Amino acid sequence: MTEMLLPGAVIGILGGGQLGRMLSVAASRLGFTCHIYEPGAEPPAGHVAHRLTTASYEDEAALRAFAGSVDVITYEFENIPASALDFLETLKPIRPGRKALRVSQDRLAEKAFLRGIGLQTAAFAAVDDEIDLAEAIDEIGTPAILKTRRFGYDGKGQARIMAPADAEAALAALAGAPAVLEGFVEFSHEVSVIAARGLDGETACFDPGQNVHRDGILHTTTIPAQLSASQRTDAVLLAAKVLNTLNYVGVMGVELFVTPGGLIVNEIAPRVHNSGHWTQDGCLIDQFEQHIRAVAGWPLGDGRRHSDIEMLNLIGDDVAQVPALAKDSDVAIHLYGKAEAKPGRKMGHVNRRLGPAT
């Protein structure tokens, strides 16, 4: 029997964006309060959290006070400075653990890890300079994508190389950051599995969703995804293998390319994931509560869906559609409380209920 945090316990969340916001709401359902740690002012999670610390990840006194006030620490994004985590983990448990963070913070380490456990990925090669890049292009061919090893998200930190002549411009675009060249994958569509693993090693997956991106940002996720029964089984087994190997605790997003040669892992995210937002209106226990259950040592929800859903992200000015969407009786609206609708900024999402689970 593993330790189970009792109602009244405090969950510390590193990062105060929309994921922290929705985690805090889910934690409240289980009787927990949340303490958000976020360097930026007026974070969305602060609207629905009991405590908020506004301080940098370099502020050791603030980190110490934060750790002292919570029972367990989790995070809403994977790019937290290692120094902060090194310090915090001497004070309180961090879930998911450092191993998953180390792997997912670095595209090279991630791909090597995935290959190491027998999963398929795009062809890849480390690129630190123009000589590496020339060799990588020779080996992998074009088209290919040069990506920074660290800190990339929503298509940022990437440059396409359609032909070897694009190499110089791509390197310049990444401004000398350590990078990895990834071969193009010929895929029919992308799906993601939102998987969870509890403190006792139990795993549970939500049904895979099918993702469509626009301008490098997730646009829609539709459930169910187009997958054969065997692909569905492969997706779930593959996700469980990743979680078990990492001795993972919490929810992880696993993005997969569907190809005639099988499922190819695009990337893993050691946190709740945009492509899992549909669970809020499609499942009894959503991905946010599932994550809180895992980090609090509770039994997991089982991931069954009761409804088919299409999740649509509201990016930038899309938020102007809210009055019209509010009239649509099949739509649930989820806004993030962000004041300014900048281009490319995730302002909210809507879940359209398509009908009972098929």
Question: Is residue 333 within the footprint of a second copy (CB under 8 A)?
Answer: yes
Residue 139 has φ and ψ, to the nearest 5°, of -75, -45
Q: What is the smallest separation between the CB atom of 37 and a second copy, expressed in angstroms?
A: 17
Binding mask 287-326 for a second copy (x = CB under 8 A): ------x----xx-xx-x-xx-----------x--xx--x
C-alpha Rg value of the chain to the nearest Å: 20
Per CB under 8 A, contacts with a second copy among 43-82 are 46-50
Contact 181, 161 (CB under 8 A): yes
Q: Which two tokens stand for residue 195?
A: 């998987």
Residue 270 has φ and ψ, to the nearest 5°, of -85, 60
Q: Which helix (H) or strand (E) holds 50?
A: none
* Binder among 64, 189, 334, 345 for a second copy (CB under 8 A): 334
The answer to whether 87 is annotated as binding is no
The answer to whether 107 is annotated as binding is yes
Question: Is residue 150 within the footprint of a second copy (CB under 8 A)?
Answer: no
* Of 19-27, 72-80, 241-249, 265-273: span binding a second copy (CB under 8 A): 19-27
* Of 63-71, 82-90, 263-271, 334-342: span binding a second copy (CB under 8 A): 334-342
Name which of 300, 248, 237, 236 is nearest 95 in CA terms. Answer: 248
Beta-bridge partner residues of 161: 144
Cis peptide before 299 (omega within 30 of 0): no
Q: What is the smallest separation between the CB atom of 301 and a second copy, expressed in angstroms?
A: 7
The answer to whether 66 is annotated as binding is no
Contact 33, 51 (CB under 8 A): yes
- For every residue of 267-303, DSSP letters joined together read EEESS--GGGTTHHHHBSS-HHHHHHHHHTTPPPP--
Q: Which helix (H) or strand (E) holds 261?
A: none
* Of 102-110, 218-226, 235-243, 281-289: span binding a second copy (CB under 8 A): 281-289
* Of 4-12, 134-142, 175-183, 251-259: span binding a second copy (CB under 8 A): 4-12
Q: Where are the alpha helices (DSSP H) in the chain?
A: 18-29, 60-69, 82-88, 98-104, 107-116, 130-140, 167-173, 229-245, 279-282, 287-295, 322-326
Q: What is the smallest separation between the CB atom of 25 and a second copy, expressed in angstroms?
A: 5
Question: Is residue 354 within the footprint of a second copy (CB under 8 A)?
Answer: no
Q: Extract the annotated binding site.
A: 107, 147, 152-158, 182-185, 190, 213, 266-267
Binding-site annotation: residue ranges for ATP: 107, 147, 152-158, 182-185, 190, 213, 266-267
Residues that bind a second copy (CB under 8 A): 4, 7-8, 21, 24-25, 28-33, 46-50, 281, 284-285, 293, 298-299, 301-302, 304, 306-307, 319, 322-323, 326-327, 329-337, 339, 348, 353, 356
